[in-house]
Amino acid sequence: MKKSTVGFGASLLMAGVILAGCGSGSAETESAADSGATEIKVGTGNEALPYAYLDENGEYDGYDVAVVKAIDEKLTEYTFTFEGADFPTTLSNLESGKVEMAAYEYEVNAERQEKFVYGDVGYVVWDTYIVSDPDAGAVYESFDDLAGKKVYATTATNQAAMAETYLEENPGAFELVYGEYNNEQIVQAITSGAVDASLAPKYQVDNWNKSFSENLAIGSEPVHNSDAYLLFNKETDQAFIDAVNTALEELKADGTIKELSEEYLDGDYVPE
């Protein structure tokens, strides 16, 4: 299992599971009380296709949500409810204890390691590439190729952290543009020329191209190799964290996580 401690990740916010489990709301809280199960509040996204979002019925869905619901199915002594927010707010909610666990494509970086406890089991590969519109400019292989360009990164992500690290070593090399863009806004920013590039895993770029009929391109090699992990508040009970790690490892071993990856990400992107 690989855990990178240099900046990137969880993802660009992506705007726009099927296993039974819990979404959010009073009915689930009632069920938890009736069953005697311990309720765990899970922070995730509400507008981040294909990872975490609200479906047409207002229920939480997406790859990360499905992974958590699969874990919930195995851990009968717990019941999970979801608290949706944007990416940085989810981290704030986890730090404050508003939620005990978070699932939102979180890669490892040093700042988060200071504040949170990472799960032991990676559940999606987050190899990250530079994304651009070849019809409007060029395909970029490395940060060195971005000299004088504008690069979008979602606030508080590993993508932003990696770009910041590069700029610390190469001041003024390119302009880093922060935001809370959804999928469509990221694509529009790139194709309109508002920014020259952004950062994302290959399967997310494939999703953008399919969803918006675009022809975005990535470099031939990732600029960063990493996986995504579940995150926990430092005060979260260690027995619960251990139970989640065990359940997720079992779900990887029996092929459940691979099935969810193929369903939501259109391919097997599960780390070995």
DSSP character string of 217-254: EE-SS-SB--EEEEEEETTS-HHHHHHHHHHHHHHHHT
Task: State the pTM of this model.
Answer: 0.76
Region of 105 please: left (phi>0), alpha (psi -120 to 50) or beta. left
**Average pLDDT taken over every residue of the chain:** 88
Are 46 and 88 in contact by the 8 Å Cβ rule? The answer is no
Query: pLDDT at position 3, please?
Result: 33
End-to-end CA distance of the chain: 7
C-alpha–C-alpha distance, residues 79 and 13, integer Å: 27
Residue-wise pLDDT for 210-263, tens only, equals 999 999 999 999 999 999 999 999 999 999 999 999 999 999 999 999 999 999
87-105: average pLDDT: 96
Q: Is the pLDDT of residue 123 over 50?
A: yes
Are 45 and 193 in contact by the 8 Å Cβ rule? The answer is no
Query: pLDDT at position 35, please?
Result: 63
Are 4 and 126 in contact by the 8 Å Cβ rule? The answer is no
Q: Is the pLDDT of residue 23 over 60?
A: no
Q: And the tokens for 222?
A: 């990732």
